[in-house]
Amino acid sequence: MFKEFKKMIFMAKLTYKYINIFEKTYCHPFISFKSAYKQLSCDRQSFSTKMLEYLNIEVEIIGEVPKQNKVLYAINHRSLLDIIVMESIFKKYNKNGAWIAKKELFDAFYGNFFKYSACISVDLETGKGLLKFFKEIKKTLSKIDDFNIYIFPEGQRNKEKDILKFQSGAQKIAKANKLDIAPVFINDTLEDVFKNAPYKEARVVKVHIGNLVKHESLEDDYITFMNEAKG
């Protein structure tokens, strides 16, 4: 119980600290659009590194992170720790980008974390909201030459063993912006990994990254890739 309490206190303090760091960049009156996104990517990666160090979790990459940019990373989703693990990988490979997140996350009590860290909000309830979302992505990709998109194509956290049916968002974003897709499979249930952290001895999480695929066959290609990763 005390271990869990200490973990929650550490997370709360670190999150509050970084919300303030994010906000300074997000609200800076003179920083350029491109510089802001790059700085916020670096800040998210710094937050994630500190979190994993405290939890004593290490990340093993199986496969290769694409050298090119303007890639959509399609990632399975079981825990908020998924973002932290992926950001540690993006730091190692000097990747800059933004997460796609549902609008309701921005309205939650921790919403400022998503807002100020340059996540891109999508309102699935209205056509106007979707139009604004696609315009924002196109604008961002046009202004930042090394930008990437990070998305959970299942659309929600999955508590099942197999992946949920993909929603259409990842395919539509990739098609509209002519993006290749990097399938990513986190071969662990990070909800359980997080629950038992921090660890006395380093806990290794394996992340599989597949070859680039096209939007037309995303779900089928992802399932094939995932099954191969599972062995």
CB count within 10 Å of CB 101 equals 20
Q: Tens digits of per-residue pLDDT, 122-135?
A: 876 666 778 888 99
- Please state the pTM of the whole predicted model: 0.95
pLDDT for res 124: 67
180: which 2 tokens?
A: 């290749």
Checking if the pLDDT of 170 tops 80, the result is yes
Distance of alpha carbon 159 from alpha carbon 134, whole angstroms: 29
Cα–Cα–Cα angle for 223, 92, 182, nearest 5°?
25
Domains of the chain from N-terminus onward: 2-230 (3.40.1130)
Q: What is the pLDDT of residue 126?
A: 67
Mean pLDDT of 216-231: 94
> Which residue reads 């974390």 in tokens?
113
Is the pLDDT higher at 212 or at 131?
Answer: 212
Question: Using one digit for the tens of pLDDT, what is the confidence trace for 24-83?
Answer: 999 999 999 999 999 999 999 999 999 999 999 999 999 999 999 999 999 999 888 999
**What letter represents residue 143's amino acid?**
K
Residue 8 burial (CB < 10 Å; 0-12/13-18/19+)? exposed
Q: Which residue in this structure is represented by tokens 């499979």? A: 185
pLDDT at residue 110, rounded to an integer: 80
Q: What's the mean per-residue pLDDT of the chain?
A: 92
**Torsion sign, CA atoms 129, 163, 207, 70:** negative
Give the dihedral sign, CA 127/128/129/130.
Answer: positive
